[in-house]
Chain A
């Protein structure tokens, strides 16, 4: 019944490895996001997809590659992990209608705590 689910919840890995985080939403939303939350709790948007199309791609190293096989899924693949990638990564979704009402809230997954050793 979870609206936005992401796996895994914890990910501990060595520098240089490649890893993926998966996200699925069952809310029927058109738009999905990846956010990074650093150790100071600041939330930074990384990517946004609308109906499988990339619409926001903030200044993120190209080691990070989002993939959206369908509008209910947005996965994040990270190549050559670095120490500075350690953070909590949140997936989120919203229903962003063409009328663009300002009250569209984000629904978040529970986060993936990534620790790079």
Chain B
């Protein structure tokens, strides 16, 4: 079974609109962490945001926020006021305290239209 599922292989969004990238996960651990990384066309992997399973507040980093719904096991990335530079692949990943390796989703390709 997939531990991290990103159901949107690709998305087109108009510039300045908000974007939600979906991520659902599967774990039986109580303690785990969820990460989002961005990979622009230049290829580097850029850390965006982290959410811990015990964090009561949704994580936010500038225009990025994480919509964490623990009961539904979802950790969607929300980008507010999208910009052309947000066009990239976005990866969701999870670290369980039991396994400890980072487990990656297949990624979502986001294209922002002018």
Contacts and interface: CB of A to CB of B under 8 A. Distances in A.
A41 B97 contact: no
Given A41-B107, A48-B101, A96-B100, A110 B44 contact: yes
A103 B49 CA distance: 10
A102 B97 contact: yes
B95 A41 contact: no
Contacts, number: 51
Contact of B53 (A90, A102, A111): A102
A100 B32 CA distance: 10
A90 B35 CA distance: 18
Given A42-B106, A110-B44, A105 B35 contact: yes
B contact patch SS: strand
B25 interface: no
Interface residues of A, number: 23
A49 interface: no
Contact of A102 (B32, B45, B89, B109): B32
Nearest to B47: A105
Contacts of B39: 41
B86 interface: no
Interface string B19-56: 00000000000011101000100011101001011000
